[in-house]
Amino acid sequence: MEVLIGVISGIVSGSGQGGGTILILCLTLFYGIDQHKAQATNLIFFVPTAISAIIVSIKEKNIKWKVVLPVIISGMIGALIGAYFSTKTDVKSLKKYFGYFLALIAIYEIYCYLKKYIFNKKTHNKDRVH
C-alpha cells in the first residue's frame, strides 16, 4: 500500500498538481497518522520528488527563470509562517482546515471545468449556426 500511495503521490507531484495533498489524505485515512505527522511526512516526501520534477522540467525548458527567485523567497517565508501556525494548531482544527482547503480546490477545479466546457459548447454551437 505504501508503494502505491508513493507512486500516485509522486505522479501528481511531478505534474505540479500537489501530490502532498493525496499523501496527507492517505496517511491520515489509511494509516491513522495524526495531521501534524502526516504534514511533516509530506514535507520530507516533497524534497526528493520535487528535485526529480525539477530535473525533468529543466530538461524540457518548462521553468520561467525570471519568476523563480521571488516565488522561492516568498514561498520560504510562507512555509515558515505555515509551519509555525501548524504546530500551534490542535489536530482537530488542522484536519478541519485541511478539509476546507481540499473542498475549495475541488470547487475551483469544478468551476474551471464547467466554465471551459460551457464556453467551448457556446463557441461550438455558434460555429454550427453559421
Name the domain count of the chain.
2
68 lies in a domain?
no
Co-location of 58 and 105 in the same domain: no
Domain that holds residue 19: 1-62
Say what the pLDDT of residue 125 is: 59
Same domain membership, residue 103 and residue 54: no
Residues 4 and 58 in one domain: yes
Q: Is residue 91 part of a domain?
A: no
Same domain, 1 and 55: yes
- Within a domain: residue 78? no
Residue pLDDT, tens place only, 15-63: 767 778 888 888 999 999 998 899 899 889 888 888 988 999 999 999 9
Domain end: 16, 39, 62, which one? 62
Is the dihedral angle over the CA atoms 44, 45, 50, 56 positive or is it negative? Answer: positive
Is there a domain that residue 20 lies in? yes
Q: What is the pLDDT of residue 123?
A: 61
Comparing CA positions, the residue from 15, 82, 80 lying closest to residue 49 is 15
C-alpha dist (Å) from residue 53 to 33, 42, 93, 120 = 27, 16, 32, 32
Q: Are residues 57 and 109 in the same domain?
A: no
What digits encode the pLDDT tens for the residues 88-113?
Answer: 999 899 889 988 988 998 899 899 88
End-to-end CA distance of the chain: 55
